[in-house]
């Protein structure tokens, strides 16, 4: 049952990720990426990370991707043409696929024979908001506070970039 859910969600994530990379229209790409995020949120639920799943949808699908779509619409990008295929590119992609396939087979081979941790029964409240929050505000307080500085920097940077007057000389 869990395996089936994993395969469905995983296949959905991979297919939409590929669609995101190969589709011409940026809006359709963005929508595919949103779907990938959804599948990943589902996989997080399978991993007992309920809080992270909610945050995944809230932050990625709800905020970051809206920003992407907003910018795509603002710039009114309607799609682009793929550059024509040349022999060079075909050869390059063939070699690339060869390498990726080889390394994938190798990785799977390594996993087969290795001592990866196996699932142990989890405490009841694993991954709930309270536990993650407690961890965040005790063990990881300093990184958490530093994050706020990072976000502040990002806000100031974005506002400055948006307000900047560009001298068209």
Partner 1 sequence: MVPLSHYLILSAILFTIGMMGVLIRRNVIIIFMSIELMLNAVNLTFIAFSRFLNNLDGHIFAFMVMTVAAAEAAVGLAIVISVFRNKPTVNVDEMNIMKW
Partner 2 sequence: MDLIIDIIKILFIFTLIMGVFSPILGWVERKQSALMQDRVGANRADIFGFTMIGLFHPLADALKLMTKEDFIPQGANKVMHTIAPFISFVPALIAFAVIPFGGEYIIHGKEINLVIADLDVGLLYIFAFASLATYGAVIAGWASNNNWSLLGALRASAQMISYEVAMGLTIIGVFMVYGSLKLTEIGAAQEDFFKWGIFLQPLGFVMFLAAAIAENKRIPFDVAEAEPEIIAGYFLEYSGMKFIMFWMAEFIEIITISGIVTTLFFGGWNIPFVPTATLISFFSSLGDTWANIITMLIHIGVFFSKIIFFIWLQMTIRWTLPRFRYDQVMKLGWKILLPLSLLNIFVTGVVILLFKK
User: Does residue 49 interact with partner 1 by CB under 8 A?
Assistant: yes
User: Does residue 122 interact with partner 2 by CB under 8 A?
Assistant: no
Q: Look at residues 69, 67, 42, 68 and name the one whose alpha carbon lies nearest to residue 54.
A: 42
Among 11, 14, 67, 158, binds partner 2 (CB under 8 A): 67
State the minimum distance, in angstroms, from the CB of residue 81 to partner 1.
Answer: 11
Among 15, 17, 19, 27, binds partner 2 (CB under 8 A): 27
Among 87, 88, 116, 130, binds partner 1 (CB under 8 A): 116
User: Does residue 135 interact with partner 1 by CB under 8 A?
Assistant: yes
Can you tell me the distance from the alpha carbon of 130 to that of 148, in angstroms, rounded to the nearest whole number?
Answer: 20
Number of residues engaging partner 1 in binding (CB under 8 A): 77
Among 7, 24, 62, 100, binds partner 2 (CB under 8 A): 62
State the minimum distance, in angstroms, from the CB of residue 125 to partner 1.
Answer: 10
**Contact positions toward partner 2, by CB under 8 A?**
27-28, 31, 34, 50-51, 53-55, 57-58, 61-63, 66-67, 69-70, 73-74, 76, 128-129
């Amino acid at each position: 049952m869990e395996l089936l859910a994993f395969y469905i969600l995983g296949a959905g994530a991979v297919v939409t990720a590929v669609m995101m990379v190969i589709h011409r229209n940026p809006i359709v790409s963005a929508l595919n990426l949103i779907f990938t995020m959804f599948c990943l949120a589902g996989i997080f639920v399978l991993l007992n990370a309920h809080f992270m799943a909610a945050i995944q949808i809230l932050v990625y699908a709800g905020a970051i991707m809206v920003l992407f779509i907003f910018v795509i619409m603002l710039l009114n990008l309607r799609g682009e043409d793929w550059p024509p295929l040349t022999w060079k590119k075909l050869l390059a992609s063939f070699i690339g696929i060869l390498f990726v396939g080889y390394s994938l087979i190798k990785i799977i081979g390594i996993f087969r024979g290795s001592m990866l941790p196996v699932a142990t029964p989890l405490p009841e409240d694993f991954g709930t908001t309270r536990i993650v929050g407690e961890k965040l505000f005790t063990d990881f307080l300093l990184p958490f506070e530093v994050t706020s500085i990072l976000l502040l920097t990002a806000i100031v940077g974005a506002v400055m970039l948006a307000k900047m007057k560009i001298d068209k000389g």
